[in-house]
Each structure stands twice: as C-alpha cells, then as structure tokens.
C-alpha cells in the first residue's frame, strides 16, 4: 500500500442568509455560483458532507473511504478504535454579514439519547472582526430556567447574555450547553466535534432564505442549556514567535497556535492521532519523509498519524492552528 502524505481537501461551501464575501477577500476562496458564503467546511466527516481529497494520488477519494482503508495509520489506533470510520473533528471557516441565531448544542449524553449522535463542543479563533463586532458566549449572571424563559418570551434575551467585542486573535471555547452567537462582521475558524446538531434559541425574528421564520427549539434547548455564568469566557493566552501557545485542551480535541517566521521542527511521537494544521496567515511548506506539501493562507491539511516528524518552513510569517486528539 502506498504511503500516506499530508492531505488537503476540497472546501464545501454553504450559502447562508447571514453569509458574506470575506472568505474570498481574505483567502481567495471561489464559492461561485453562490451569492455569498457563510461557511466553508474545510475538513468534514459529517454524513452527507464528507470531504473529498484535493491533492496527491488519493485525489477525489472521500475521507470516510480513506479511514476504512488506512484506519489507524491515518487517524491513530486509539482514535480509530473510538470513532471507527467517522472522522471525529469538523473544521470550518465562518463569515458573518449579520448576526447568527442564538443557539446551544447538546452534550454527548443528550445527543446519544435523543439522536444517536455525538454532542457538539467547539472553539473559535477570530481571524477578522469589524470595529464593534460582537460575540455572545454564556450568561452574564447565573439564571434559572424561569428567568431565561421570561426574557426569551419578551424578546429581551440579549440583556442576560454575556456580549463581548470581538477582535482578531480572540479565542473562545464553547462547550456543549453554553449559549452563544456570532455577530455581524466576523470571520473565524471553528474546530468542533463531528456533529451538526444545533438547537436554535432565538433568530432575531428574521425570515430564512425561503421567506419564512426558521424553527426554534425552545424545549430542546432547555434540556441542553448550562445556566451558570463564568467570570471569563474569552481564552487568555500568550503568543510566542517561533513557539506554540496552548489554546484549548478538552476531552474532544487539543488546539495550539503556532506563530513562526523561520523553520520549526514538529515531532508527534507522543501522539496516537492525526494532526490538523489550519493556516490563518502566511504560507508554509510541510516537509515530511518522502516529500513536501505547500499550505496556503486559508487552507487546512491533515497530517496522518503515521507521520511522526515534520518541518514547517514559512514562505512568509505564519499563524497556524494545530489540532489533535490526545
């Protein structure tokens, strides 16, 4: 069997009522003939939206087929044992020209009981934010279900939510159960569990693309919501040039920010997992045993688990998200 190599995938573009044009302006993504693009799914194992390989001899094979053939060599023995032929993470870029709905996602237990699915915990890295752009994450203070429903019924829900001004480089971890929304004028990278279950809490009384109000999931959301507040919702981190800054370390994935302007060596002998690189700024080459692969701004790549050491060589200063499963 031929050896694996760093895999890039064809983006899956999603037309959204709140989508914009910045994925083309920032990353050169061609989502025509769509009028706008709200989401670009870079790596997906979601049923009905499984990514196709873009590069190398495996071009046009889908990700699920690759896992069936290469198994642990691709995703890691432990990961394959846990998830089988489903790739466990979904990586996407989002671009907002309007507020997304206020929503919440179920945890693994609720999703398994109700939908025979995984839950959905996710993280955001803000790439671009217009001045004054807002992100909603969590409640401002602890609330009880009755208080929450009172504000929901009176269209005053935003009054009890934690609203933050978004800035480039901001990171938010959104575990299952946390109420959240992305405001207008934001482009971000999202890394999440492979699940597409969303409970829509409030949609700003706007029509969907068919001209009708979209369905709300009030009862489902009540069962999923965590009503407790936190003193801080934004992830605090210290970025280091030619170093790695830890961002998120949760049961579902670990993500670090790599900032480098010279060649760096990355070793993964301690991992039994694939590694995902998402290029947020700059361009670089992955040099691995047997070859190299160019990664451009706005691209994501999967490094197979069997490749344990690579060099990352920048063509210009780079910021790259590095994600894997422990």
Which amino acids are annotated catalytic? 200
Q: Which residues lie closer than 8 Å to 157 by C-beta, 6 or more apart?
A: 102, 148, 151, 201, 202
Residues 71, 200: Cα–Cα separation, whole Å: 35
| E strand spans, 158-231 | 161-165, 171-174, 180-182, 186-193, 199-202
Strand pairing class (39-43; 45-46): unpaired
The residues, any chain, with a CB within 8 Å of residue 280's CB and separated by 6 or more, are 125, 127, 189, 297, 319, 320, 321
Nearby residues of 54 by Cβ (< 8 Å), 6 or more positions away: 8, 9, 10
């Amino acid at each position: 069997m031929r050896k694996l190599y760093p895999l890039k995938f064809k983006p899956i573009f999603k037309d959204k009522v709140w989508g914009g044009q910045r994925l083309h302006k920032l990353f050169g993504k061609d989502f025509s003939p769509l009028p706008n693009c709200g989401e670009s799914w870079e790596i997906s194992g979601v049923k009905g939206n499984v990514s196709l390989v873009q590069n190398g001899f495996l071009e046009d094979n889908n990700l699920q087929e690759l896992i069936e053939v290469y198994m642990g060599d691709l995703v890691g023995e432990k990961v394959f044992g846990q998830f089988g032929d489903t790739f466990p993470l979904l990586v996407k870029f989002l671009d907002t020209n309007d507020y997304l709905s206020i929503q919440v996602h179920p945890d693994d237990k609720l999703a398994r009981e109700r939908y025979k699915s995984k839950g959905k915990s996710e993280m955001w890295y803000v790439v671009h934010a217009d001045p004054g752009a807002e992100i909603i994450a969590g409640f401002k203070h602890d609330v009880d279900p009755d208080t929450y429903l009172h504000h929901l019924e009176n269209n005053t829900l935003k009054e009890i939510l934690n609203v933050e001004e978004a800035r480039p480089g901001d990171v938010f971890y959104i575990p299952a159960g946390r109420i959240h929304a992305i405001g207008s004028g934001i482009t971000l990278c999202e890394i999440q569990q492979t699940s597409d279950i969303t409970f829509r809490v409030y949609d700003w009384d706007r029509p969907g693309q068919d001209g009708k109000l979209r369905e709300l999931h009030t009862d489902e959301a009540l069962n999923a919501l965590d009503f407790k507040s936190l003193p801080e919702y934004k992830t605090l981190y210290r970025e280091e040039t030619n170093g790695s800054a830890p961002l998120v370390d949760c049961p579902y994935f670990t993500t670090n920010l790599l900032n480098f302007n010279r060649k760096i060596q990355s070793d993964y002998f301690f991992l039994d997992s694939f590694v995902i690189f998402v290029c947020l700024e700059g361009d670089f080459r992955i040099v691995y045993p047997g070859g190299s692969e160019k990664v451009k701004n706005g691209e994501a790549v999967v490094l197979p688990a069997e490749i344990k050491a690579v060099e990352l060589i920048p063509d210009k200063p780079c910021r790259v998200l590095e994600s894997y499963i422990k």
